[in-house]
Chain A
Amino acid sequence: MVTAKVVIRNLTGLHLRPAGILCNKAILYKSRIQFRTDDATTANAKSVLSVLGACVKSGDEIEFICEGEDEQEALDSMIRVVEEGLGE
């Protein structure tokens, strides 16, 4: 299992479009990909609904947790897609 923290910089937080971009990236990997928010909610990064349900706002820090055969690759990719601004 590998983990890393990243801050959400999108102006609108993790709303439908950014969440969709995040999920589209996550489903490319075999590993289980989750993230945890400040208030200890855990979300499944492969599910738009789960991501939306975590109600992540701009400026919030989230911690990705990846577990599986391609975990390191998955983690790097998730951090990158968030840092690139999720399509904004």
Chain B
Amino acid sequence: MFKGTNASAGIGIGKAAIIKEEEMVIRPDKVASVETEVTRFRGALADTVAQTKALEETLATRVGQKEAEIMQGHLMLLADPMLTGEIEEAIKRDSVCSEYAIETTCTTYADVFAAMDDELMQQRATDMRDIKTRLQQVLQGIKPVDIASLPEGSIIVAKDLTPSMTAGINPANVTGIVTELGGKTSHSAILARALEIPAVVAVSNVMDKIADGDSIVLDGSEGIVIVKPTDQEMDEYTAKRESFLQEKKDLERFKGVPTVTKDGVHIELVANIGNPDDLAKVLEYDGEGVGLFRTEFLFMDRTSMPTEEEQFEAYKKVAEGLSGKPVIIRTLDIGGDKEIPYMGLAKDENPFLGYRAIRLCLDRKEDIYRPQLRALLRASAFGGIKIMIPMITCIDEIREAKALIEDIKNELDRKDIAYNKNIQIGIMVETAAASLMADVFAKEVDFFSIGTNDLTQYTMSVDRGNDKISYLYSTFNPAVLRSIRNVIKCGREAGIMVGMCGEAASDPLMIPLLLAFGLNEFSMSASAILKSRKMITGYSTEELLAVADKAMSFVTAKEVEAYMKEFVNQ
């Protein structure tokens, strides 16, 4: 059994098809006439461009426009005058063959990209190497590996799949993909997910361990590859595949179904997102809106503060994309644990108890908070935006933030700029102080969202990154559960919505408890939505009350968890 990175979910069972590019020996052979050689290169370039265009069309029709963009990128690079100029220059200068000139020129660029501190740029290195190989193959008359004609039930085993190889994959015949290189965001992983083919990548030295035709079982959800499985393993994984496919089909049925419990309680089932591109996933899994849009991405990996205009565009894009459905946007939640040079933040001794989130924003109203709130208010004219303030510990913070929002509203009124005048303003409840003061805070805001990851950390005084004390970090701890129950109760008494955007919201053992406590909104990663909807629609909150009472009678996290496991599995 080999371990790798789980790149595309599902179980693949089949026969190994080893995919190897034909070895090419590239030597600095001298040429007699550089003019003839340049002409030879130009001919090969034209053929490669034509091939790439054909691949682009195949991808666009068989997989999708987004996947075809990889090939459009290759076309841009092939059309680059600097690249082709340098290759021709090398041929002329050294009187070498085109293959060698391509080898040195493309490798230089690939190495430059690979060394850049930016994942997108590093992917360009893969593109450069792919282009290099295809140009050389055309020159040498070597046919590219033909993946399209693999027999049914093939599991592709390769060092790495180049974008041009993946373009030829026929999902009807390929039941799995195993590669030695790559990562979750590499071309092959993205394509495997788009085609819904189970894939495990980054399995070290896998090419030495698997022979062509070997029987293989792979688990793309767990990142496991088994070569020559025993009968028992074969049975086990055949069953796993059946249940995976069955569950997928089952969950499909929950698309478009309202999230209502058996006793008629309507629940809002929404998604956590990190940037506007995540919208596609929310729509795919039928999210009813966004319960947490983290705005940090706008501020990271750059050299200056994002402008109000840039932020406005990003917020507007999400609001419009969800056509009026609720979109809760959390204002900047950042502190001394993040490296953002242009903000000039001093290193905090204790960043999670330090100068961060609302504390920082209220201290830097003019350059940080006002532009962000202004962008949010303006974007609220285009959809269901609600503003959420993180890390609240005392009422002054709420009042000060609200006063600032009022001030901006007045300014927008004066300038006749559109915004939603009734925009809802809520807070994250994630500190012990906010939980204890929930009854008071509930009268000041329009909604609560419980951030269980931080609430657990702060309630238990446990650093969630520290392995030695990880046994303390459990949302099932009675102290945390009491806190959650109290926040929900206070919110309900004040008549405001109470949601949850931490990991607990999609935990199958936690969902029955949260329903019993009266949580209105569950926000989670988009891929967990259908599964959670299936669970929620199967329960009656009335029946769960007794379960919650029983769970709350235990005094340790272990007992609560064991009891919930027993309840859910029965």
Count of chain B residues with a beta carbon within 8 Å of a chain A beta carbon: 29
Q: Are A49 and B80 in contact (CB under 8 A)?
A: yes
Write the nearest CB–CB distance from B83 to chain A, whole angstroms. Answer: 6
B283 interface hit (Cβ, 8 Å): no
Q: A9-B309, A59-B304, A59-B305 are in contact. Are A48 and B314 (CB under 8 A)?
A: no
Write the nearest CB–CB distance from A38 to chain B, whole angstroms. Answer: 8
A41 interface hit (Cβ, 8 Å): no
Proximity bits, A52-79, B CB within 8 Å = 1, else 0: 1101011110000000000000000000
Q: Are B77 and A49 in contact (CB under 8 A)?
A: yes
Q: Report which of A11, A15, A48 forms a contact with B80, defined as CB distance below 8 A.
A: A48
Q: Are B76 and A47 in contact (CB under 8 A)?
A: no
Say what secondary structure dominates the interface of chain B.
Answer: helix
Q: Are B121 and A11 in contact (CB under 8 A)?
A: no
Q: Are B302 and A59 in contact (CB under 8 A)?
A: yes
Q: Report which of B72, B81, B305, B309 forms a contact with A46, defined as CB distance below 8 A.
A: B81
Residue among B109, B120, B302 with the most chain A CB within 10 A?
B302
Chain B residues whose C-beta falls within 8 Å of the C-beta of A19 in the assembled complex: 76
A3 interface hit (Cβ, 8 Å): no
A30 interface hit (Cβ, 8 Å): no
Q: Are A49 and B109 in contact (CB under 8 A)?
A: yes
Which residues of A in the span 1-45 have a Cβ within 8 Å of any Cβ on B? Answer: 9, 11-13, 15-17, 19-20, 23, 27, 38, 44
Q: Are A57 and B82 in contact (CB under 8 A)?
A: no
Stretch at the interface among B15-23, B110-118, B382-390, B533-541: B110-118
The interface size bin for chain A is: 20 to 34
Q: Are A57 and B124 in contact (CB under 8 A)?
A: no
B542 interface hit (Cβ, 8 Å): no
Proximity bits, B258-272, A CB within 8 Å = 1, else 0: 000000000000000
Write the nearest CB–CB distance from B277 to chain A, whole angstroms. Answer: 9
Taken together as a complex, chains A and B put the C-alpha atoms of A11 and B301 apart, in Å, by 10
Chain A residues whose C-beta falls within 8 Å of the C-beta of B79 in the assembled complex: 48
Taken together as a complex, chains A and B put the C-alpha atoms of A44 and B80 apart, in Å, by 11
Write the nearest CB–CB distance from A81 to chain B, whole angstroms. Answer: 15
Chain A residues whose C-beta falls within 8 Å of the C-beta of B112 in the assembled complex: 53
Q: A17-B69, A48-B76 are in contact. Are A55 and B121 (CB under 8 A)?
A: yes
Write the nearest CB–CB distance from B228 to chain A, whole angstroms. Answer: 42
Q: Are B306 and A58 in contact (CB under 8 A)?
A: yes
The interface of chain A, by Cβ under 8 A from chain B, is 9, 11-13, 15-17, 19-20, 23, 27, 38, 44, 46-50, 52-53, 55, 57-60
Instruction: Kindly list the 10 A-B residue pairs having the minimum CB-CB distance in the complex, ordered from nearest.
Output: A47-B82, A59-B304, A20-B76, A59-B302, A48-B80, A16-B73, A48-B76, A58-B302, A49-B80, A57-B302
